[in-house]
Amino acid sequence: MGTAELTTFGLVSLIGYIIVGIRLMNLCNASGVSNGWFAFIPLLNFTRWARLAGKSPWLVLLWFVFIIPGLILSLIWLNKISEKTGTKSPWFWVYLIAAIVAYGGTTIFHGTAQIIVSLILTIAMIAAQWMIFDPTKGTSSTTATV
């Protein structure tokens, strides 16, 4: 893998992180969840996922102790958010499949093919989060102050 491929992948990931952060912050604001700017801080953004799903943000501490249960819990929260915003089908499934393949299946590819597949999967996850975190469909029943 060359420097150009890794730089491209890094830029796409960074731009996606910012785009999804803006969308998540807007959904938090529309839903009455405080501190929407946490959407831009790694791991703290998952506390906003928890609040939007109606769960305690302290559950994010599972990420520091148990990585796999933390990942599963975040998928459950994303599923709840997609149900509340009415965007469950098919965007949650796009995100889920892309995440599973991106984190577990790209090792079968090598070199440039691995970067291309990873880019496609990253873009799919960004698009899915963009659709799920739709602030126009935010529910006001999800209020929290943490």
Count of C-beta atoms within a 10 Å radius of residue 115: 19
User: Band of the pLDDT at 143, cuts 50, 70, 90?
Assistant: very low
- Looking at per-residue pLDDT, the higher value among 14 and 71 belongs to 14
pLDDT of 34 > 50? The answer is yes
Compute the average pLDDT of residues 23-37.
Answer: 92
Tens of pLDDT along 85-127? 887 768 888 888 888 887 776 677 777 777 788 888 889 999 9
| Banded pLDDT at 73 (limits 50, 70, 90) | confident
Q: How confident is the model at residue 1 (pLDDT cuts 50, 70, 90)?
A: low
Contact assessment for residue 80 and residue 50, using Cβ atoms and an 8 Å cutoff: no
Mean pLDDT across 122-141: 81
Question: Which pLDDT belongs to residue 106?
Answer: 67
* Nearest in space to 139 (alpha carbons), one of 90, 91, 83: 83
Q: What is the arithmetic mean of pLDDT over 56-78?
A: 83
Neighbouring residues of 95: CB distance < 8 A, sequence distance ≥ 6: 78, 124, 125, 128, 129, 132
Beta bridge partners of 144: 33
Q: Are 87 and 134 in contact (CB under 8 A)?
A: yes
